[in-house]
Amino acid sequence: MTETAATVPVDGVAVTAIGVAIIRARESERGDRLYDDPQAKNFVAAARKGFTPERWARMEALADQFYDGRTIGVRLVDERFREAIEAGCSQIVLLGAGLDTRAYRLDLPPALHIYEIDLPELFAFKEPVLSATAATPTCHRHVVIADLRENWRKPLLDTGFDPTVPTCWVDEGSLGYLNQDWNRQVVQTLTELSAPASRFGAARIPIDPEAPQYRDLRRLVSGDNTPQPTPPTPAPDYGIEQWLDNIGWTTEFRTWNDMIAHLPRPTTPVDPRIGTIDAIRR
């Protein structure tokens, strides 16, 4: 895939999608895997050609640090897809889709529409890899090239999104903390585009932004020669449920421990404040 190698995003926020693909590829090789993502290894093989050996080794080391939590998170979102479809959602929008392949690997209903929103450099890498493997989605898949920090409403609508039918909005880390202004603006926009019974999940994950893995991630994304500002300490997010309720959502908090209790993999209990705020549009 010589042509593909030239488009590999080796820095910037799009590079995080490659790290997640490494995690999904590793999970898919396990005998006790929580899911199977056949395309992940193709993304990894194509991406590796665009990195120096030293930088690729850093990518793999960083994937190791995030592996346990992120791979379980992928399985939980798989389950969220199925729950939303059973509840009547006929559209799913991936906010910052990255190298997601659920349109291909989950055997989704043919009538379902999936909208993948992400940056142009991400799709410049992703689409050639999928084409080279002759991958075929099981449902309607729509590529929406847009930056969530800018006007993504119009590109989504122009791609065929229907705001009059129930939609499941999926975020796997693009939004971060909803107490930041631009993240809240994204949620305000998707709220305006959500018909009654639409669904959205907001993660509640208290983190230390100065923890080694997060410092390493920032350096990999922004480059070693870029000055690293001290990240702001996120404010407590205990008011998020009230804010979502005020703008038209009914919420329920589910702890991470409760969500993973049924999974066939030993895990250590975590802080009970960690989990997901599940929201349904009124």
pLDDT exceeds 80 at position 66: yes
What does pTM read for this prediction? Answer: 0.91
pLDDT exceeds 80 at position 205: no
| Selected residue with higher pLDDT from 230 and 34 | 34
Residue 227 lies inside a defined structural domain of this protein = no
Q: In the predicted model, what is the mean pLDDT of residues 66-79? A: 96
Query: Which region among 33-42, 74-83, 210-219 has the lowest average model confidence (pLDDT)?
Result: 210-219
Tokens matching residue 144: 């929406």
Residue 255 lies inside a defined structural domain of this protein = yes
Residue 38 pLDDT class (50, 70, 90 cuts): very high
Q: In the predicted model, what is the mean pLDDT of residues 150-155? A: 97
Between strands 199-204 and 167-171, the pairing is parallel
Q: How many structural domains does the chain have?
A: 1
Closest by CA to 237, choosing from 203, 214, 269, 187, is 203
For residue 38, the domain's CATH number is 3.40.50.150
- Cα distances from 15 to residues 59, 140, 175, in angstroms, run 9, 26, 16
Question: Phi and psi at residue 103, in whole multiples of 5°?
Answer: -65, -20
Residue 204 pLDDT class (50, 70, 90 cuts): confident
Q: Mention every residue, 6+ apart, whose C-beta is less than 8 A from residue 112.
A: 85, 90, 91, 92, 139, 140
Do 188 and 244 meet the contact criterion of CB atoms below 8 Å apart? Answer: no
pLDDT exceeds 60 at position 1: no
At 125-144, the pLDDT tens digits run 999 999 999 999 999 999 99
Measured at the CA of 58, the angle between CA 55 and CA 62, to 5 degrees, comes to: 145
Question: How high is the pLDDT of residue 173?
Answer: 84
Domain that holds residue 18: 2-222+233-281
Residue 155 lies inside a defined structural domain of this protein = yes
Residue 228 lies inside a defined structural domain of this protein = no
Residue 24 lies inside a defined structural domain of this protein = yes
